Amino acid sequence: MAKINFGGVTENVVTREEFPIKKAHEVLKNETIAVIGYGVQGPAQSLNMRDNGFNVIIGQSYDFKQDWDRAVKDGWVPGETLFPIGEATRKATIIQYLVSDAAQRIVWPVLKKCLNKGNALYFSHGFSITYMEQTGVVPPDNVDVILVAPKGSGLSVRRNFLAGSGINSSYAVYQDFTGRAEERTLAIGIAIGSGYLFPTTFQNEVYSDLTGERGVLMGAIAGIMEAQYKVLRENGHSPSEAFNETVEELTQSLIRLVDENGMDWMYANCSATAQRGALDWRHKFREAVLPVFNDLYESVKTGNETRIVLERTGSENYKSELEAELREMRESEMWQTGVQVRKLRSSRE
């Protein structure tokens, strides 16, 4: 492992230089990897591993025909590299359990009875194991239980791989039956194209992930955008002006500079007026939202967020309820303005 200093804190991380793809091939040379679920992470991780030359098969329920057909379109062959979930599990030595969190507790009885002694049961989210009292996903004692969690969507995992870079991933071992759990974990992490790997636990991964999704990554940023857009519109600004100042400049300019060089560099390379205002107001925003983040983390830690997810997604009417919520967002003035802004942007490219 490499020791890297992150802002004064030293962490052990695993890079592709220390654990090259050749080493991953050596570790996994006798393994068959079954990717269970061809929804969000499944396509990206399986295609990356296939492109890297690993022995990969897909386990997907034919009842979800859209996902089955997508797998066929991507070159997985029914009866050869594409199978029903139970059959794929029995054929594999490493089982990547990549159906959705809500589906994992439903599929688990089928998958569990197909596991073999010495298998590795792989997750990309600590959800089902950390909250096993709610999910019912309790692994047998005679398998490895491991995790590699890419810090990005499936689309980003695939795009970065094709671009020659990689999404960074956390990794963890929950149960080491074979004595090889860690090397299997690291090899899979390299096989799926991780930029680098940093250690965590199943619990820490799900606590940070659920907080991040509800916070900065999705929930908070959407709420902040809606609030600023509303204030601008109520004070007489046009939809175009409000959207450009709220969303377009962030996504098309500033966040890219932050990605490339950091927040301080972006601040140093904007106007003095913007710089001064940002430096002054960031403290006010931090103090305003800190109580919300404390409440959020506590809700994650106590399992309340898990209860909400399982209850809501388990509802008979969930698909229609979800579509209504997404439609409300999609048809709002702000995001309808966004549709037009993106069209205008693409027309000049």
CA distance 33 to 30: 10
CA distance 69 to 53: 23
Whose tokens are 């995790």? That residue is 147
Is the sign of the CA dihedral 106, 193, 200, 286 positive or negative? negative
Q: Which two tokens stand for residue 10?
A: 């030293």
Q: Which two tokens stand for residue 33?
A: 């990897």
Q: For 81, phi and psi rounded to 5 degrees? A: -130, 0
Burial class (CB in 10 A: 0-12, 13-18, 19+), 295: exposed
Contact by Cβ (8 Å): 149, 173: no
Is the sign of the CA dihedral 81, 83, 88, 91 positive or negative? negative
Strand, coil or helix: 42: helix
Q: Which of 25, 125, 237, 283 is labelled catalytic?
A: 125
- Which residues have a Cβ under 8 Å from the Cβ of 212 and sit 6 or more positions away? none
**Nearest C-alpha neighbor of 200 from the set 5, 11, 7:** 11
CA distance 304 to 294: 14
- Our answer to whether residue 125 is catalytic in this structure is yes
Angle of CA points 77, 81, 87, to nearest 5°: 120
- Strand 9-15, strand 196-199: pairing: antiparallel
- Catalytically active residues are 125
